[in-house]
């Protein structure tokens, strides 16, 4: 029997209210105009420079992420629930990080196994006992959500380090408004363009106590070869802050300084877009040419804030993910608003046995994997692929988790044949500062452009859509 999927636009052949004004729009758009508009969108993306490089691939280093013009729509009530759930999760994840780098009360209480935390490769011993400014570890939390029914949303994974893609959320909206201004006159759509200013305010709010004036904020990038370099540059421009590489910064005394044409300038907040291991060659990888020697000493002495904080990655580990509902209960005394996807941990003998016996029906992921790599989608895999993955799991069971193959919702999408349903997910971005926990009404909708595919990652050929939240 073929799987049935929730279509976000049509319910039993009837159009759902959020999409009511889009039906005539898409029906009245001839193929010639659609193709013209699609070419216009690609031209705009190329002209602006919105590209996405994929490591290890040959070909075009300035590859465009496919953009689909058919927007995804949420009602204000749907968004209110999602927003409350994402904020709740972000608060709990930050409480967890502050706890495990301090007394580890959740581990002492037996709610999370110690080995998952303290033997995790993302756990940074260099910050044990240190409390970051305003007790915030993860300042930009990207929560990946999937929908399976009208009221059924699930958290697929948490991204607590440097979640990417927000530039696409902003540029998707800009391009849609430019190409279809009438749509925005006819629909009351909540704006997303306040994100850069909200991000700047969030970063400023966690400036260290040694900062007495308006904080100097920089974005630290690995450089233009990084796949998300466009986004680093884009956000720096919109926030009005400097985009720097490691060689542009240095440590002198108790502070971090930026080289400028007018002489040294003290840096108070670093929004870093590189991994922990490359931040400081004196503390982490000694061969790193991307970081700033001595930066961690300044950080630990309170001379600079780093967002997101070193060590935040232990909270978005896929094995830790299974315990986030317990974190919400433990730290917040609340029941989770958004549910996890049911998850089997291969580190547990009985659960591993179940996974190995049901590989053809499950999605198996590496605990530290990302970008759609290192995973098996059972229903779409071959027998040999299943056998290969079974061998990997037996060799290192603690490196894998498994989940059921969810019936991801679909959204109408422009394809060569016209319009067809394609599977989508959503990544809202929650900003956590000294006195705020906010997200703009929208996020990055990723779409699996291949018919039947459930893999939406851009690195795996997925595309992006504008995400609308209808205003009250």
Fold match flag (209-303 vs 344-404)? no
Tell me what pLDDT residue 432 has. Answer: 98
| Section 225-232 average pLDDT | 88
Which residues are 442's β-sheet partners? Answer: none
Among the listed residues 209, 204, 146, the one whose alpha carbon sits nearest the alpha carbon of residue 340: 146
Q: Report the CATH fold assignment for 209-303.
A: Rossmann fold (3.40.50)
- Asked whether the beta carbons of 121 and 307 are under 8 A apart, the reply is no
CA distance 235 to 431: 14
CA distances from 432 to 167, 269, 371 (A): 18, 14, 24
Tell me what pLDDT residue 135 has. Answer: 96
Tell me what pLDDT residue 375 has. Answer: 84
pLDDT at 55 over 50: no
3.40.50.360, 3.30.1490.270, 1.10.3720.10, 3.40.50.720: CATH of 344-404: 3.30.1490.270
More confident residue, 136 or 43: 136
pLDDT at 403 over 80: yes
Tell me what pLDDT residue 329 has. Answer: 98
CA distance 115 to 100: 12
- Asked whether the beta carbons of 176 and 71 are under 8 A apart, the reply is yes
pLDDT at 249 over 70: yes
Tell me what pLDDT residue 370 has. Answer: 61
- Distance from CA of residue 248 to its chain's centroid? 27
Tell me what pLDDT residue 52 has. Answer: 59
Tell me what pLDDT residue 459 has. Answer: 65
Domain spans in the chain, listed from the N-terminal domain onward: 10-208+304-340+406-469, 209-303, 344-404
Q: How confident is the model at residue 377 (pLDDT cuts 50, 70, 90)?
A: confident
Sign of torsion over alpha carbons 204, 205, 207, 213:
positive
More confident residue, 458 or 199: 199
In tens, the pLDDT along 82-125 reads 999 999 999 999 999 999 999 999 999 999 999 999 999 999 99
Q: How many percent of the chain have pLDDT more than 90?
A: 76
Sign of torsion over alpha carbons 44, 48, 53, 58:
positive
pLDDT at 374 over 80: no
Q: What does the DSSP assignment read for 216-260? A: PEEEE---TTSTTHHHHHHHHHHHT-EEE-GGGEEEETTEEEE--
Mean pLDDT of the chain: 92
Tell me what pLDDT residue 31 has. Answer: 87
Backbone conformation region of residue 141, classed left if phi is above 0, alpha if psi is from -120 to 50, else beta: beta
Stated pTM of the model = 0.93
CA distance 296 to 251: 10
- Asked whether the beta carbons of 441 and 190 are under 8 A apart, the reply is yes
Q: How confident is the model at residue 405 (pLDDT cuts 50, 70, 90)?
A: confident
Q: How confident is the model at residue 450 (pLDDT cuts 50, 70, 90)?
A: confident
pLDDT at 62 over 70: no
19 backbone dihedrals φ, ψ, rounded to 5°: -100, 5
pLDDT at 45 over 90: no
pLDDT at 59 over 50: no
Sign of torsion over alpha carbons 349, 350, 353, 355:
negative
Which residues are within 8 A (CB) of 463 and not within 5 positions of it... i.e. 6 or more apart? 65, 66, 67, 68, 446, 447, 449
pLDDT-wise least confident of 35-44, 79-88, 269-278: 35-44
Tell me what pLDDT residue 56 has. Answer: 46
Q: How many percent of the chain have pLDDT more than 70?
A: 94
């Amino acid at each position: 029997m073929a799987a049935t999927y929730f279509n976000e636009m049509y319910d039993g052949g009837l159009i759902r209210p959020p999409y009511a004004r889009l039906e005539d729009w898409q029906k009245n758009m001839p193929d010639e105009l659609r193709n013209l508009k699609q070419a216009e969108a690609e031209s705009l993306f190329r002209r602006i420079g919105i590209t996405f490089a994929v490591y290890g691939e040959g070909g075009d280093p300035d590859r465009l992420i496919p953009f689909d013009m058919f927007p995804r729509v949420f009602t204000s009530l749907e968004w209110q629930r999602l927003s409350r759930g994402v904020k709740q999760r972000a608060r709990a994840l930050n409480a967890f990080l502050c706890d495990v780098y301090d007394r580890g009360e959740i581990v002492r209480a037996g709610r999370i196994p110690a080995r998952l935390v303290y033997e995790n490769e993302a756990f940074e011993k260099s910050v044990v006992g240190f409390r970051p400014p305003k007790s915030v570890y993860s300042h930009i939390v990207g929560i990946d959500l999937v929908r399976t029914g009208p009221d059924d949303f699930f958290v697929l994974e948490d991204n607590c380090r440097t979640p990417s893609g927000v530039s696409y959320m902003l540029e998707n909206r800009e391009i849609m408004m430019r190409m279809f201004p009438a749509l925005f006159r006819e629909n009351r759509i909540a704006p997303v363009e306040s994100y850069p200013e909200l991000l700047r305010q969030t970063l400023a709010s966690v400036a260290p106590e040694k900062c007495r004036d308006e904080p100097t904020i920089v974005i630290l990038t690995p450089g233009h070869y990084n796949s998300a370099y466009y986004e680093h540059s884009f956000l720096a421009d919109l926030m009005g802050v400097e985009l720097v590489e490691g060689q542009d910064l240095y440590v002198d005394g108790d502070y971090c300084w930026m080289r400028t044409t007018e002489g040294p300038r003290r840096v108070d907040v670093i929004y870093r877009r590189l991994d922990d291991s490359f931040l400081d060659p004196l503390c982490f990888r000694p061969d790193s040419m991307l970081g700033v020697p001595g930066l961690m000493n300044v950080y630990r002495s309170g001379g600079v804030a780093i967002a997101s904080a070193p060590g935040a990655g232990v909270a978005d580990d896929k094995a830790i993910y299974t315990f986030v509902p317990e974190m919400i209960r433990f730290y917040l005394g609340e029941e989770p608003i958004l549910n996890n996807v049911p998850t089997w941990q291969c580190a547990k003998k009985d659960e591993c046995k179940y996974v190995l016996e049901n590989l053809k029906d499950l999605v198996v992921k590496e605990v530290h994997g990302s970008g759609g790599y290192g995973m098996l989608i059972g229903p779409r895999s071959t027998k040999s692929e299943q056998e290969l993955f079974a061998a990997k799991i037996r060799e290192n069971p603690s490196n894998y988790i498994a989940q059921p193959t969810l019936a991801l919702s679909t959204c109408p999408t422009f394809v060569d044949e016209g319009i067809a349903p394609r599977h989508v997910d959503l990544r809202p971005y929650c900003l956590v500062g000294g006195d705020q926990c906010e997200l703009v009404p929208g996020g990055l909708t990723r779409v699996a452009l291949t018919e039947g595919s459930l893999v939406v990652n851009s690195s795996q050929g997925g595309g992006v859509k504008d995400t609308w939240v209808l205003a009250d």
